[in-house]
Amino acid sequence: MRRPTRYAAVFLTALALLTAGCSGGGGASDAGRITLRFQSLAWQQDSVAANKQLVAEWNRTHPDVRVEYVQGSWDSVHDQLLTSFEGGEAPDIIHDASDDLADFAYGGDLAELGGLLPATLRDAIPGASWQTTTFGKGVYGVPFLQEPRMIIANRALLVKSGVRIPTADTPWTWEEFQQSAKKLTGNGTYGVAWPLKEPVSSTLNLSLSTGGQIFRRGADGKVTVRFDAADQAVPRAVHDMVNTDHSAARATLGMGGSDTLPGFFGGKYAMVPLGFSYRQQIQQQAPKGFDWIVLPAPMGPDGNRAQGVSPQTLSVSEDCAHKKEAVRFIDFLLRTDNVVRLAKGDWMLPTATAALRDPALHTDQNGWSTGTALAPYLRSAPAQSVRGYPEWKDKVATPAFQEYYSGAIGLDELRHRLVTDGNRVLARYQR
């Protein structure tokens, strides 16, 4: 996403204040009551309802600290936060994703939470998840929901084709996935639709299964971009499905996940790789009698099922005047029963170990158990702590991957752009 200039930030800050209807920094209202603004990025109907219900429950039981719910948007959150931090009007409690936090954490915009988090909350979430919000020696967010990437498939087409149907215990390899897509292609049906309007995070996260890293941190702490054989494996598989096997629909490369669903329901695509939360839309929108199944993402060599994730996070603004109270609200929001409500509302997985054991998340219905079985293999996304990642993603990697997947450029040109152009971008952030 394009960053606003300082001059544009003044205008955007004013606009943000008008649309959010709030003023900066948690403060005290009548009778000394503290008011905190919580900006939520919940967007699915059940998720918005769950968040608003929990805010209302907090306000009923904590009359001394009132929380105001502010609706944000995933589409614009980075630029909106950048503007609000610069203008001193950031929300007190910030809902975001861990791969968006690095610049704000290193820039001093987010509060360091290590000394504020209660032990019960810290112990509830595994260390691997805390790594996603740790920058330097500080913790700048609480990771609470995570979303593996799955394959949503038309069960009837899979059965008819005779392909082996993978399970969480026995996923396809990437080679088997490509072969299955070819078998599923024909009679007006493509084996797979790759919705890659935003190709970077899905490519990087799936590449962990083949040993890909993209970003390497040297002994001096500086990060550089590399694009070696392990990093190339997943991009080459996608490219070959589109341009060599013709088992993937070229038209879907510019689509978002939701855009592929009508074609999926109509039998145009047999499989669609999507985030776990898309199951809600499929369950709500699928025609009556449409039989769909949730499959695990392909595994890499030696059974490697690792997959990168960027958990949803809750952070506190450094400018918040009442950080302890803000953390108290986060602790309330993420109690086991509450975070299960949030996970079910967003159709995602909680990071907390106890919440992940909830029986409601282990049912076979709508593929919950398949997703939950992948939780042990989820790892911190490769871009997690890379300063300058948003600019590298928007200005370098997104157009480069889009052109490569469509066949407009080859692998050598893709490597040149990601590495040469990419390292120029990252170098500016690491001087």
Domain ranges of the chain: 6-146+310-380, 149-308+385-429
pLDDT per residue as tens digits for the range 211-252: 999 999 999 989 999 999 999 999 999 999 999 999 999 999
Total Cβ atoms within 10 A of residue 274: 25
Q: Is the pLDDT of residue 18 over 70?
A: no
User: Measuring CA to CA, which residue among 63, 51, 141, 44 is closest to residue 101?
Assistant: 141
Please provide residue 317's backbone torsions phi and psi, each rounded to the nearest 5 degrees.
Answer: -65, 140
**Rounded Cα–Cα distance for residues 168 and 373 (Å):** 6
Is the predicted pLDDT of residue 10 greater than 60, yes or no? no
Residue 328 has pLDDT above 60, yes or no: yes
Give the Cα separation of 317 and 37 in Å (integer).
Answer: 10
Predicted confidence band of residue 431 (pLDDT cuts 50, 70, 90): confident
Q: Where are the beta strands (DSSP E) in 281-399?
A: 292-296, 307-309, 312-316, 349-350, 378-380
pLDDT over 80 (residue 4): no
pLDDT in tens, 339-368: 999 999 999 999 999 999 999 999 999 999
User: For the domain 6-146+310-380, what is the CATH code?
Assistant: 3.40.190.10
Confidence of residue 28 (pLDDT cuts 50, 70, 90): low
Read off the pLDDT of each residue in 165-178 and give the average, rounded to a whole number.
97
% of the chain beyond a pLDDT of 90: 86
Burial class (CB in 10 A: 0-12, 13-18, 19+), 313: buried
149-308+385-429 sits in which CATH class?
alpha beta
pLDDT score for 1: 34
Residue-wise pLDDT tens digits, 356-410: 999 999 999 999 999 999 999 999 988 888 889 989 999 999 999 999 999 999 9
* Closest-CA residue to 392 (of 119, 1, 114): 1
- Pair 215, 200: CB distance under 8 Å: no
CA–CA separation, 388 and 306 (whole Å): 25
- Residue 224's Cβ-side half-sphere holds a number of Cα atoms within 13 Å equal to 8
Question: In this structure, which amino acid lies at residue 237?
Answer: A
Report the pLDDT value the prediction gives residue 385, as an integer from 0 to 100: 81
Q: What is the DSSP string of 250-309?
A: GGGGG--GGGGHHHHHTTSEEEEEEEGGGHHHHHHHSPTT--EEEEEPPB-GGG---EEE
User: Quick check: do 6-146+310-380 and 149-308+385-429 share a fold?
Assistant: yes
Model pLDDT, residue 205: 95
Read off the pLDDT band of 45 (50, 70, 90): confident
Question: For residue range 85-132, what is the model confidence (pLDDT) as tens digits?
Answer: 999 999 999 999 998 999 899 999 999 999 999 999 999 999 999 999
Query: Residue 19's pLDDT is what?
Result: 42
> Which distant-in-sequence residues (6+ apart) come within 8 Å of 359 by Cβ?
none
Q: Which residue has the higher pLDDT, 33 or 251?
A: 251
Distance of alpha carbon 10 from alpha carbon 6, whole angstroms = 7
pLDDT of amino acid 2: 33
Q: What is the pLDDT of residue 32?
A: 75
**pLDDT at residue 269 tops 60:** yes
Task: State the pLDDT at residue 20.
Answer: 41
Q: What is the pLDDT of residue 75?
A: 87
Q: How far apart are CA 273 and CA 42, in angstroms?
A: 22
Q: What pLDDT shows up at residue 31?
A: 61
Residue 246 DSSP SS3:
coil
For the chain, give the number of residues: 431
Q: Using 50, 70 and 90 to split pLDDT, how confident is the model at 253? A: very high
Q: Can you tell me the distance from the alpha carbon of 355 to that of 341, in angstroms, rounded to the nearest whole number?
A: 10
Give the pair of three-digit tokens for residue 294: 């949730």
Per-residue pLDDT at 7: 34
The pLDDT of residue 343 is 96
Contacts of 116-121 with CB under 8 Å at 24 or more apart are: 116/316, 116/323, 116/324, 116/327, 117/142, 117/327, 117/331, 118/327, 118/331, 120/331, 121/330, 121/331, 121/334
Is the pLDDT at 163 greater than 90, yes or no? yes
Measured from the Cβ of residue 88, the count of other Cβ atoms closer than 10 Å reads 12
pLDDT value of position 30: 55
Mean pLDDT of 272-290: 96
pLDDT at 425 over 90: yes
Closest CA to 239 of 423, 422, 413, 1: 413
Helix (H) or strand (E) holding 161: helix 155-161
The average confidence (pLDDT) of the chain is 92
Which of helix, strand or coil describes residue 21? coil
Percent of the chain exceeding pLDDT 70 equals 93
Model pTM score: 0.87
- What is the distance between the alpha carbons of residues 412 and 430, in angstroms, rounded to a whole number? 26
Return the pLDDT at 23: 40
